[in-house]
Amino acid sequence: MPLRSNRLFLAGVVLGSLGAIALIASVPIMQTYEGKAKLAQRVEKDDAGALFDEPYRNIGSPQLYVIDDPKAFLPTPEGGDPTIALLSDDYLKANNLYPTQLQSIRTIVNYGRIAAAGVFIMGDILMILALMRRRQAGSTA
Partner 1 sequence: MKHRFALAPALLTLVVPAFAAEKTFTIVGERLEYRNLATVESETEYEAFTGKTTKVSGTVKFDPAKRSGAATLLIDVASVNTGIPARDEHMRGAQWMDAGQYPNIKLETKSVKHAGGDNYNVTGLLTMRGVTREVKFKATVRYRAASELNKANGFDGDVLQVKGKFDVKLSDYGVKIPAPAANKVANVVTLGISAYAVAK
Q: Cβ 104 to partner 1, closest distance in Å?
A: 6
**Could you tell me which of 72, 2, 67 has the C-alpha nearest to residue 36?**
67
Q: What is the smallest separation between the CB atom of 35 and partner 1, expressed in angstroms? A: 20
**Whether 101 contacts 71, CB under 8 Å:** no
Q: Least Å distance between CB 48 and partner 1?
A: 5
What residue ranges bind partner 1 (CB under 8 A)? 42, 44, 46-48, 50-52, 57-61, 63, 98-99, 101, 103-104, 107
Closer residue to partner 1 (CB): 60 or 77? 60
C-beta of 108 vs 137, nearer to partner 1: 108
The Cβ-side half-sphere exposure at 125, using a 13 Å CA radius, reads 6
CB of 3 or CB of 51, closer to partner 1: 51
Contact between 100 and 69 under an 8 Å Cβ cutoff? The reply is no
Angle CA 75–77–59, to nearest 5: 80
Distance of closest approach, residue 116 Cβ to partner 1, in angstroms: 18
Which of 15/87 has CB closer to partner 1?
87
Which of 28, 31, 103, 38 lies closest to 66 in space, CA to CA?
38
